[in-house]
């Protein structure tokens, strides 16, 4: 575990540096958008947080499948950690979105497909945590968690497609979309660079947090074992 810690320390330092760079670029380097003004800067971390949330849920489903295939409890730790991190970042994504929507759409909230799906996604993974809480046997907890992570991951995109059929007002900045949608804009190269760095920074942040969370879980398991040893 000691050798790994050194790599982890390196990862932490890199994460810190890229996060600082991303923050600098968002506030200083990236130009102010012409019509929306300063509030547009929410965009960089808003999308990056959503990206991290997705990474978390994707990692959880991969870990879930791997757990069911191999039955190694370390995969369960990965899955749990990924979902915990994913939940937090998806929530950051929703909250930053609300902050942006208030001046641009003149409301904190609308029942647009993306917003609705994001909320339902939060509920799915909150349910995941509640499911785990209700099970004492660690093996069964891991098994059921893996199954629910898989089912939830299948359901969320379907929810999105169902609601998508209604017209959306959420701007699609990447990959075209309707330019008349309120709050859409096209990125200048500086904005694009900032956006890219923010994405990279949040990906590093995710990797670092997940690693720490897995390590925490392993240490917790060790403490449990030592406790049991002391009692006997």
Q: Does 146 bind other proteins (CB under 8 A)?
A: yes
What letter does residue 175 receive in the DSSP assignment? S
Q: Which parts of 179-188 fold into alpha helices (H)?
A: none
Q: What number of chain residues touch other proteins (CB under 8 A)?
A: 28
Q: Which is nearer to other proteins, 26 or 61 (CB)?
A: 61
In Å, how far are 30, 39, 73, 208 from 154, measured between CA atoms? 37, 34, 23, 26
Q: Which stretch binds other proteins (CB under 8 A): 3-11, 124-132, 194-202, 211-219?
A: 124-132
CB 210 within 8 A of CB 85: yes
Q: Which is nearer to other proteins, 66 or 173 (CB)?
A: 66
Residues 54-73 binding other proteins (CB under 8 A) are 68
Nearest approach, Cβ of residue 117 and other proteins (Å): 9
Q: Does 130 bind other proteins (CB under 8 A)?
A: yes
CB-hemisphere CA count at 13 Å for 140? 6
Q: Which stretch binds other proteins (CB under 8 A): 54-62, 81-89, 138-146, 175-183?
A: 138-146
Q: Which stretch binds other proteins (CB under 8 A): 42-50, 98-106, 160-168, 222-230?
A: 160-168
Output b/e per residue, 67-94; b: 16+ Cβ within 10 A.
beeeeeeebbbbbbbbbbbbbebbbbbb
Residue 168 falls in which region: left (phi positive, over 0), alpha (psi -120 to 50) or beta: beta
Q: Does 167 bind other proteins (CB under 8 A)?
A: no
Q: Does 2 bind other proteins (CB under 8 A)?
A: no
Task: Count CB-CB contacts under 10 A for residue 167.
Answer: 9
Q: Does 231 bind other proteins (CB under 8 A)?
A: no
Q: Which is nearer to other proteins, 158 or 172 (CB)?
A: 158
End-to-end CA, the chain:
27
Q: Which stretch binds other proteins (CB under 8 A): 28-36, 84-92, 162-170, 216-224?
A: 162-170
Q: Which is nearer to other proteins, 13 or 126 (CB)?
A: 126
CB 204 within 8 A of CB 22: no
Q: Given candidates 14, 135, 173, 199, which one binds other proteins under the rule CB under 8 A?
A: 135
Q: Helices 73-104 and 42-70, interaxial angle, to 10°?
A: 160
Q: Which stretch binds other proteins (CB under 8 A): 24-32, 121-129, 171-179, 192-200?
A: 121-129
| Dihedral sign, Cα of residue 219, residue 58, residue 198, residue 108 | negative
Give phi and psi for 37, each to the nearest 5.
Answer: 80, -150
| Site residues for other proteins per CB under 8 A | 68, 120, 123-124, 127, 130-131, 133-136, 140, 143-144, 146-148, 150-152, 154-155, 158-159, 161-163, 165
């Amino acid at each position: 575990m000691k050798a790994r810690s050194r790599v982890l320390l390196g990862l932490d330092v890199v994460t810190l540096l890229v996060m600082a760079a991303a923050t600098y670029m968002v506030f200083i380097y990236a130009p102010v958008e012409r019509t929306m003004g300063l509030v547009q800067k929410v965009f960089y971390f808003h999308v990056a947080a959503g990206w991290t949330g997705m990474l978390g849920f994707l990692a959880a489903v991969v870990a879930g499948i791997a757990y069911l295939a191999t039955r190694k409890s370390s995969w369960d730790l990965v899955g749990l950690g990924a979902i915990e991190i994913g939940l937090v970042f998806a929530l950051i994504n929703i909250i930053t979105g609300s902050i942006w929507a208030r001046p641009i759409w003149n409301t904190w909230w609308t029942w647009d497909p993306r917003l609705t799906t994001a909320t339902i996604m939060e509920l799915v993974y909150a349910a995941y945590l509640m499911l785990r809480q209700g099970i004492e046997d660690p093996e069964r907890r891991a098994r059921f968690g893996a199954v629910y992570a898989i089912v939830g991951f299948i359901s969320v995109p379907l929810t999105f497609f169902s609601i998508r059929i209604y017209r959306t007002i959420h701007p699609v900045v990447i990959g075209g979309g309707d330019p008349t949608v309120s709050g859409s804009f096209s990125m200048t190269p500086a904005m694009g660079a900032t956006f890219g760095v923010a994405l990279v920074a949040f990906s590093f942040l995710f990797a670092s947090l997940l690693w720490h969370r897995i390590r925490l879980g392993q240490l917790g398991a060790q403490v449990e074992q030592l406790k049991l040893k002391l009692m006997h």
